[in-house]
Structure formats: structure tokens, C-alpha cells
Amino acid sequence: MSEPQTEEAPELSFVLPSYNEARRLPRTLERVAAYFDATLPSAEIIVVDDGSSDETSRVARETLVGRAGAQVVTFPQNRGKGAAVRAGVLAARGRRVLFSDADLSTPIEEEARLRAALDRGADVAIGSRAEPDSRVTLPQGTARQSMGRTFNVLVRLLGLTSFRDTQCGFKMFTREAAQAIFPTARLDGFAFDVEVLYVAERAGFRVVAVPVEWKNDPVSRVRMVRDPVRMILELLRIRLRYPPWGARETIRAVSASRSSSATERSRERSGGPP
């Protein structure tokens, strides 16, 4: 694995949060690398090992050896998917940033749909299993589907977002949006997606849902009793952190960061002073 390049920003940064994925990573990374070699050769791959107890970091480094710009970020202890995604996004150098689940439940080939949405002017494109043209080739079990529906109802009741599928782990951001949103996000657990979407929408970024293909992986990291309770508590944390009467200052800070990023890019293009 080579050191990150500094000469030119990659077209895309691909962030892969991973926890105890040593067995699955080689197949996933080989498929992703082959896809990018054929479509976006400059894309960088960033694996974030979320404090795994297996050989996730070693396997990731060995699989990515010799690949320009590849990075492996390793947490000393498990912090949660939200923390892993945030670290990867903030380490990214690409003009756009995509994160995905390690099981590739949404095939990597679907990134072209999200990229097309950004080409049409979106700042954030989220893969969705709930759109009319979405294709779920292997659905979740009844219990997990029921859990998901209940979670989405709570998200709407709390007024956090109107999107019908917040938890599909396949989302793409412009660099401007990613660098403004993720430093503000605080949740480390599975509900981090909801906070990211809430902040993005309130800060004025254009967020669109994109229908994608999706296949359930029965080897899930979600624990059916413990994690749903944690996710509900995290939703309440979002609501308390951004109450309707007090979220303005936080969102204003995100908007200011957005304006600062836009100004910086304009100066870079014009060659003006920093």
C-alpha cells in the first residue's frame, strides 16, 4: 500500500467501515478495486477498522498493498459505525465521498447512480430501498423488517427527516457537503445516518434518495435486542441536541463551514491568496 498522493484530488473516495471483517474483506476489496480500475482509476479506498478483535487491519493492508492512495485507519478499540464512517470521511481527499457496508449489500456498481445524482446537482445522494424503482433481491427477515419500519416511524414522529430509508449503508457526498456535515455529527452508533441527514437538510444541502439494488446479508452486525434500544436512544439524543427551538446555532455553524469551503475552492480555482 502506497502513501496517499497529494498532487491531485481523486475523483472519488470510497470509505469502508469494518468491524471483525477479516474473512470478508479480501473478496470485498478485490471487487471494489476491480470496479474502480475499470471506471474511476483515481478513486482512493479507505478502510476504517473499528477496533476489531480479528486481523481486519492486517488483511486490509495486505489486500490493498501497492494501491495508490489507499489508507487503513485503525481504532484501538470499538467505537461504533458512525465513528468509523466519520473518521474515514474526514480522511478522504476525493472530490466526492462514498461510504458503503463491508458486505456490499448494495453492489459497488450502484455508485454510478449516486454519482449521476450529484452530476445533476445534488449535494448528498442516499441509496434507498424504499423508492419505486428500488430492487431488493433478498429481503430481510420479518423481525428486522418490523424493526426497520418502527425505526422509520420514530424518525418521522421526531421530525428528523422525511426520507423513508435512512439506514441503507450506501451514501455519497460532495466534498463540500462532507467537510461541512461530518465535523458537526457526534453520534457513533448505527443511527448516525439520521443525524447526518438532519444536519445536511437543515444546512441547506440538497439531499436526494436514489433507488438502488440491495441484497440482505444474513450475517448482520445488528443485535436484535440491544441495538434497537440503542438506536432509539440515539434518535432521542439527536432530537435533544437539535431541538426545534435551539438547533439554529449548530446548523448555522455548518452553513458557515459550507460557505468557507466554497470560498476556499473559489480561491484555489482563481489562484488567489488564501
**pLDDT at position 228:** 81
Model confidence at 221, in pLDDT bands (50, 70, 90)?
A: low
Which residue, among 6, 177, 93, 266, has the nearest Cα to 274 in the 3D structure? 266
**For strand 170-174 and strand 124-128, is the pairing parallel, antiparallel, or unpaired?**
antiparallel
How would DSSP label each residue in the chain?
-PPPP-SS--S-EEEEEESS-TTTHHHHHHHHHHHHHHH-TT-EEEEEE-S-SSSHHHHHHHHHTT-TT-EEEE-SS---HHHHHHHHHHH--SSEEEEE-TT-SS-GGGHHHHHHHHHTT-SEEEEESSSTT-EEEEPPPHHHHHHHHHHHHHHHHTTS---S----SEEEEEHHHHHHHTTT----STTHHHHHHHHHHHTT--EEEEE-EEE--SS-S--TTHHHHHHHHHHHHHHHHS-TTT-HHHHHHHHHHHHHHHHHHHHHHHT---
In angstroms, the CA 101 to CA 79 distance is 16
pLDDT tens digit string along 48-81? 999 999 999 999 999 999 999 999 999 999 999 9
The stretch 238-263 carries a mean pLDDT of 67
Contact 63, 38 (CB under 8 A): no
Check whether domain 13-267 has CATH 3.40.50.12170, yes or no: no
Residue the block writes with cell 485507519: 73
Alpha-carbon torsion, ordered 222, 223, 224, 230, to 10 deg: -90
Would you list the domain boundaries of the chain? 13-267
Mean pLDDT of the chain: 89
**For strand 96-100 and strand 71-74, is the pairing parallel, antiparallel, or unpaired?**
unpaired
**pLDDT at position 258:** 62
Is the pLDDT score of 233 beyond 70?
Answer: yes
- Vertex 222 angle, CA 217 and 228, to 5°: 135
Q: Choose the catalytic residue: 103, 119, 193, 227.
A: 193
- The verdict on whether 119 is a catalytic residue reads no
**pLDDT at position 218:** 78
pLDDT tens digit string along 117-143? 999 999 999 999 999 999 999 988 888
pTM over 0.75: yes
Is the pLDDT score of 157 beyond 80?
Answer: yes
